[in-house]
């Protein structure tokens, strides 16, 4: 089943994109800041979300892990 049709999988993909983009922005900020516009600007926006809302993203990652481990 595709992640687009399963809501929990879609949320997981978005959380992973946010975390990965934030880490990539920490390691190479010039590359990410150069690509603010266009298709690659999506990753810059995910990095901004991860930087500014990091406590909430962390809580969502923990909740998603719990729901995957103990969910049906």
Is 2 inside any structural domain?
no
Whole domain around residue 59: which residue ranges? Answer: 7-70
Q: Give the count of domains, the chain.
A: 1
Is 21 inside any structural domain?
yes
Is 1 inside any structural domain?
no
Is 64 inside any structural domain?
yes
| Residue 20 pLDDT | 92
pTM for the whole thing? Answer: 0.81
Is 30 inside any structural domain?
yes
Give the angle 47-41-52 at the CA atoms, nearest 5°. Answer: 25
pLDDT tens digit sequence for 2-56: 656 788 888 889 999 999 999 999 998 898 888 888 888 899 999 999 989 988 9
Enter the tokens of residue 8: 């929990």
């Amino acid at each position: 089943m595709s992640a687009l049709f399963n809501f929990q999988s879609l949320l997981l993909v978005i959380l992973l994109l946010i975390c990965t983009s934030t880490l990539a922005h920490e390691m190479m900020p010039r590359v990410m800041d150069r690509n603010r516009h266009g298709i690659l600007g999506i990753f810059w926006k995910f990095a901004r979300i991860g930087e500014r809302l990091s406590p909430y993203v962390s809580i969502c990652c923990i909740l998603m892990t719990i729901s995957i481990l103990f969910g049906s």
